[in-house]
Amino acid sequence: MSYRVKAPAKINLSLRITGKRADGYHELVTRMQKIDLFDLLELELTDTGSVEFFSDSREIPGNDSNLAVRAARRFFECCREGSAYGLRIRLTKIIPVGAGLGGGSSDAAAVLKALSRMLGDPLANQELLDIGRELGADVPFLISDHVAVIATGIGDRLKETESLDRYHYVLVNPGFKVNTTWVYENYRLTKEDNNFNLWGSRNSEFGSFSAADLHNDLEQVTGAHYPVIGQIKKRLLQEGASGTLMSGSGPTVFGLFEDGKMAGDALARLKYQYGEEEFRIISAKALDGV
């Protein structure tokens, strides 16, 4: 039995750090949005009892550092119906790696959801979310059917909100990877961070959001180390973006455009300026939702 599935990228429209827990994880408030940029996965159940992984990208390892592999193994551990099976995963990698777009987390979420369907939904949705939480803070959102959420805790407590689908998105990935752990370790939590009024309370109730609300606390870390992030933001604004932001821990930067033609023209000029040997310039739309 084989199954094909698409794993969407996510962007963070806002991300604020509110504290640090005793276990080292950071508490945060973040508004996340799924977009129509997808990795493609083909899954095939086998009788080998092992998880095999193949990808068209040499950047993706097939060992336990791969979240999709870990997701499959964890599913089989938790699911009696899956104990007799193995899994073969074939990944066509389209979402840039280490880009702040949740590609690895989305691949893991897609594997969990697909395995559940292939085996007749033996695990409750909450059990899938719990497995996802073990794998990474973004995974529960990417497992969920929500296309846009305000997430709290470590990013795993989700409240559905409106999809910001009235904008056209232009993403610029500068072609290098950023280690998320390094970014969080170098973020300095200040008293001001601890005491701000909970961002998103208005948004979580009414779903209102505009380009003026874009904010990411982690830009101060990644942007300081990689000045190109600030340069890309400035360039997107020059092209007419209503607002720009680095997604997650970076380094991908996106611009919000209210006009489709303006977004298309910006895409063409940015591709001409930066080329595409190192940079990835991507047009996207938010997935439809609430």
Q: Is 73 left (phi over 0), alpha (psi -120 to 50) or beta?
A: alpha
Q: Which one from 10, 34, 113, 233 is the annotated catalytic residue? A: 10
152/198 Cα distance (integer angstroms): 10
The answer to whether residue 145 is catalytic is no
The answer to whether residue 288 is catalytic is no
Q: Which one from 34, 39, 93, 138 is the annotated catalytic residue? A: 138
Active site residues: 10, 138
